[in-house]
Amino acid sequence: MKDNNDPGSSCSSTKGSKKHRRAVVGEAERWGLLLAKTTRRVRGMAGVVTSLKINTKIEHRYAITQVTSAMRNPLPQEVSGANYTGIIREKSVSRRIYEMAKKVGKTTGLLEHKDDAIQKFEASINMVSHGTVTFHITYEELVHRVDGSYLYSVHIHPGHRIPSAEIDVHIMEREAIIDYKFLELPGQEMFSHNPGTSVQGGPMSLGELHLWYRHEDPHDNSGRGIDGVFTLSYTTTNHTDGGEVQRVGNYFAHYFSPEGLLKMPTHTVFLIDVSYSMNDGKLDSLKSALIPILRGMNSEDTFELLAFSSDVVNVGSFNGRHKQIKNAIRKVRRLVSMGYSNLNAAILQAIRTTNNFNAHQAVKQIVIFTDGQSNNGVVNPEIIRKNVREANTYRCPIFSFVFGSADLKLLTHISEDNVGIAYYLNYNSDQAAQIKDFYKQISKPLISGVDINYPETNVDPTTIVKPGLSNYYSGGELVFAGLLRPGATGVNPIVSGVGRDGPYQFPVTRLDSRQPFHTSLRENFTARLWAYLIVQDLLARADLSENVTETQQFHAQALQIALRFGFVTRLTSLVVVYPDDEYVIVSSQDELHHERNWHHPNNYESSFSSFRRLGRSNIRGNKTIIADLDPHFIVYAQGFNLPLCFNFHGHNGAYMNLIRDPQSVNGQVTSRISHPKMTYFTTLFLRLNQVNITITPDRLEVDCLGDDGTPQRTNNQNSNFQDDDINSRIRRFNDEASKYCSLNSTWKEGVGRIYGNVLIVLDKKKNLHVTIGDGLAHFAVVRSRNKLGQRFLGFYIKDQQILSPLTHGIIGQFTTKTVKLISPTRIAASRNNSTESTVKVAVNRRNRRNKYRPSEVSGILSKRHSLLDQTNVDCIHIRGNGKGLLDGQPRDYLLNCLHC
């Protein structure tokens, strides 16, 4: 890790990737210095689980945990006495295998990574009638050092009373274990007596600890079972050196956690969101946490308070002396919430304030407290992120405390762009306590600009995985991993940094290459630890990259390593199917990494008939945006529950823009036979990141684009994907996958495949479903014909989370447009002397300068038919091609070509 410190600043610069503290292979916590506790959840189904056994072996901070009862990875599944082991596959492949087996009534199981914020994994089980299943999970993780001790936790939330449970933990460390304690027990025994509980065991030798927890409800059912958290902490001997290196084979892990050094002074800029949305108790929680934090400041520490809503206010600059702390607390207590949130201006001001502070050897840091997305000033997340990255030239760490509804993705990116961490505050827990616990871990920096240099003659530099933090804080630990070159005899790292007394260079004398004690770790746990860390590194770099092709490369590399080592990640899942099931699936990843199970394309239609049930909930609660028939549009707008509908006719052959954003959708219309002024969509063009899709009622054409924006036509199948050579991160995965992106075929031949990050499947022969990523967007295309036999298409937005606030187009503009009811329903005479119900609504319309202006428009209560669901939809019909509802003029939505 190189130190690019400016001579006048103590904020270090870190080259290389940030660690995106996420879980793999049943690991259930974020990887990083500052995590307070692990978060593995063991959940059951009501009335099913009767006992639970958890067996954990921890050696050198690396834990392997086996759970026997109702759980997961690698999910051997015992069915009527027989044992079946699951297969790790690309995520969408596993999901479809599971759904197809479930559909035909097979016993099957699926394990998926469901939630990055709490690192939750979910097992979905389908059992035949009267079947019995026992599950065995084995998951692996790095146990982290927090406040000087290593924490191991299991969250057990079965959903019903489990009368019998056992937890057995066996710890082996090279250093002496000098202390241990139980922090939480799952039967709530730390707070009240639970009959039938026993805790036994203790030290076996200097570096060995064996503990076990038993719970058995009394036979009279007077016990309350277990439902809670098992948390154990243990402490090893401290050293003031360059850390400990553990090597097995050619893989090594380097643990750096020196203690006994003097704390460096800190200068912290606290950036406090006081916008109106903080008035529901969040600001009170923040004050309750911030006041004891300020009281804990040392006299040499300095800090500044900035409060922001629509504007940014400097509350004051203070040091850690009693009188100034008292003054700062008084001002914090006076903060009130009001106004909008200008996050962009606030962070830029915090950076300027930090850069202007001049203090020798003080560790500078910015701590953000916020609960909501920016809704004032610059609101585009990518622009905000870019502005912050360019302004923070000294790379001062930015830590974010994120209250419930905030834009966690944006704040995560901002923090990790700037060598910090975004910490999500659980709304249902004591938020003040969470803030205090987390801040405690960044309040005592001992070394800034940590730089560990591994000689390139011994270590391949492309394989080194580094933590995202460049400062070392007391009580934590920085973990590095990598691979030795063939024939290398040692690691020989050089560790340096800057402390309170000036530059340091730490010797590394604790080098261990002995075989593991536990037989379950004999598979080379340092190799698995390296893979575990590098998968997280690649996923983090994919999230932080602004280049689509680069993101796909990182995902491809992470997928390859996850499949090789059998990790469950957000790219992979694990599936078990009872024998005699066949996998009816074709995907580029599946063909690269697994045996091919080819089936005729006719099977795809029936295989994916349940596809609509797989995705997330539809946009705004089962509200599908529709463009079909002649063509009419049914859209939903914010502030109005009933959908709006309107017609929009173009001339024969006209090209229309439906959605305009980085993702765009265009359509070509053709006049109806015998009725030239009535038109239908006959061709649709979808530009989805780096994938172009052109759809007609008969044909499907797909092209994946390269960096230069041209279609990739690679068809070279001669070179092989080298599983054994994982020293080089750059794979030819994209070359292999791109051959599936040069497609011009019928619907049947082209579906059931993954193109880049776009999945296309067919349902009921006429419904084409297009999904992006892991449920980021779900579009549908339906083909139909009118009474004259003329074929046409309909387009539908089932769900989306990727369109930006600047999205436009005939239907794209309604992702941000607001509509309000002005006058209630009234009865009026129509043109043919019948009566109709009319309403008047106010619409915020955007002009060409992206400024919003209100307008009023009248509509009538009407119905429109949806071809996708074959239902009639009640709506407010706006006549005149949507005049008064759509932004601009009709000609603004006409294009010169389909692919423009």
Cα 633 to Cα 796: distance, rounded to the nearest angstrom: 10
Residues 6+ apart with CB under 8 A from 619: 625, 636, 797, 798, 799, 800
Helix locations, 719-853, DSSP H: 733-738, 747-750
Indicate whether 460 belongs to any domain. yes
42 phi/psi in degrees, rounded to 5: -110, 110
What band does 128 get if pLDDT is binned at 50, 70 and 90?
Answer: low
Q: Quick one: average pLDDT of 75-99?
A: 55
DSSP 826-852: EEEE-TTS-EEEEEEEEEEEE-TTS-E
Q: What is the mean pLDDT of residues 424-448?
A: 82
Is the Cβ–Cβ distance between 729 and 557 less than 8 Å? yes
C-alpha separations of 296 from 289, 319, 443, 743, 786 in Å: 11, 12, 9, 64, 75
493-527 residue pLDDT tens: 989 999 998 898 998 888 887 665 555 444 567 88
Both 282 and 375 in one domain: the answer is yes
pLDDT in tens, 846-876: 877 777 788 899 888 888 888 877 888 888 9
Looking at the fold, whether 254 and 310 belong to one and the same domain comes out as: no
Q: Which residue has the higher pLDDT, 15 or 391?
A: 391
What digits encode the pLDDT tens for the residues 537-581? 888 888 777 778 888 888 888 887 877 777 777 666 655 554 443
Q: What is the pLDDT of residue 25?
A: 34
Judge whether 149 lies within some domain.
no
| pTM of the model as a whole | 0.57
412 with 461: CB under 8 angstroms? Answer: no
- Is 741 a member of any domain? yes
Are 276 and 256 in a shared domain? Answer: no
| pLDDT score, position 809 | 92
Residues 393 and 454 in one domain: no
Contact 395, 364 (CB under 8 A): no
pLDDT of residue 835: 61
The residue ranking higher by pLDDT, 34 or 887, is 887
* CATH classification at residue 508: 2.60.40
Residue 330's φ and ψ, nearest 5 degrees, are -60, -40
What share of the chain in percent tops pLDDT 90?
A: 19
Burial class of residue 514 (count of CB atoms within 10 Å of its CB; 0-12, 13-18, 19+)? exposed
Q: Between 145 and 228, name the one with better pLDDT.
A: 145
Is residue 204 assigned to a domain?
Answer: no
Cβ atoms within 10 Å, residue 199: 13
709 plus 854 within the same structural domain? yes
What's the pLDDT at 658?
A: 93
Give 712 or 56, the one with higher predicted confidence: 56
Q: How confident is the model at residue 212 (pLDDT cuts 50, 70, 90)?
A: confident
- pLDDT for position 445: 92
379 has a pLDDT exceeding 50: yes
Percent of the chain with pLDDT over 70: 71
3-state per-residue secondary structure call for 178-233: EEEEEEECCCCCCCCCCCCEEEEEEEEECCEEEEEEEEECCCCCCCCCCCEEEEEE
- Inside any domain, residue 746: yes
Direct distance between the N- and C-terminal alpha carbons of the chain, in angstroms, rounded to an integer:
45
Q: Which residue has the higher pLDDT, 727 or 812?
A: 812
Residue of higher predicted confidence among 744 and 825:
744
Q: Where are the beta strands (DSSP E) in 689-736?
A: 691-695, 699-704
pLDDT in tens, 20-45: 333 333 332 222 222 222 334 444 44
Please report which confidence band the pLDDT of residue 536 belongs to, taking 50, 70 and 90 as the band edges.
confident
CATH number at residue 273: 3.40.50.410
Which is more confident, 611 or 133? 133
Residues 770 and 820 placed together within one structural domain of the fold: yes
Mean pLDDT for the chain overall: 75
> pLDDT band at residue 250, thresholds of 50, 70 and 90?
confident
Domain termination site, one of 534, 563, 593: 534
For residue 626, the tally of other CB atoms under 10 A from its CB is: 29
Higher pLDDT, 833 or 374: 374
Last-in-domain residue among 477, 500, 534: 534
pLDDT band of residue 399 (cuts 50, 70, 90) is: very high
Do 637 and 685 sit in the same domain of this protein?
A: yes
Q: Of 534, 562, 580, which residue sits at a domain end?
A: 534
pLDDT of residue 187: 73
Same domain membership, residue 477 and residue 399: no
Question: Closest by alpha carbon to 741, among 663, 801, 781, 688?
Answer: 688
Based on the domain organization, do 487 and 625 belong to the same domain? no
Greater confidence, 823 or 231? 231
Over 50: is that where the pLDDT of 303 sits? yes
Indicate the pLDDT class of residue 325, thresholds 50, 70 and 90.
Answer: very high
User: What pLDDT is stored for residue 50 in this prediction?
Assistant: 67
In angstroms, the CA 852 to CA 808 distance is 13
| 293 in the same domain as 248 | no
Record the tokens describing residue 287, joined without a space: 């004050």
At 447, the pLDDT band (50, 70, 90 cuts) reads very high
Q: Residue 36: how many CA atoms within 13 Å on its side-chain side?
A: 15
Which domain range does residue 337 map to? 266-443
Q: What is the pLDDT of residues 613-667, one digit of tens each?
A: 222 233 434 577 878 666 789 998 888 888 899 988 788 899 999 999 878 899 9
- Structural domain contains residue 125: no
Residue 278 has pLDDT above 60, yes or no: yes
Query: Is 373 a residue whose pLDDT tops 90?
Result: no
Q: Report the domain count for the chain.
A: 3
Question: What mean pLDDT comes out for the span 168-183?
Answer: 89
Q: What is the pLDDT of residue 113?
A: 56
User: Can you tell me the mean pLDDT for 757-768?
Assistant: 81
Whether 256 is covered by a domain: the verdict is yes
pLDDT category of residue 584 using cuts at 50, 70 and 90: very low
- Give the model's pLDDT for residue 600: 31
**pLDDT above 70: residue 152:** yes
Nearest Cα to 75, choosing from 59, 57, 58, 89?
89
**Among 183-187, 283-287, 750-754, whose mean pLDDT is lowest?**
750-754
| Residue 629, domain member (yes or no) | yes
Question: What is the predicted pLDDT for the residue at 579?
Answer: 47
Mean of the pLDDT values across residues 411-438? 81
133 pLDDT tier (thresholds 50, 70, 90): low
Q: Say yes or no to pLDDT of 382 above 90.
A: no
Question: Which pair of tokens denotes residue 774?
Answer: 């892991």
Same domain? 471 vs 343: no
Residue 796: its H or E element: strand 791-800
Residue bearing the bigger pLDDT, 616 or 692: 692
**What band does 605 get if pLDDT is binned at 50, 70 and 90?**
very low
Q: Where are the beta strands (DSSP E) in 309-350?
A: 312-319
Q: Are 439 and 497 in a shared domain?
A: no
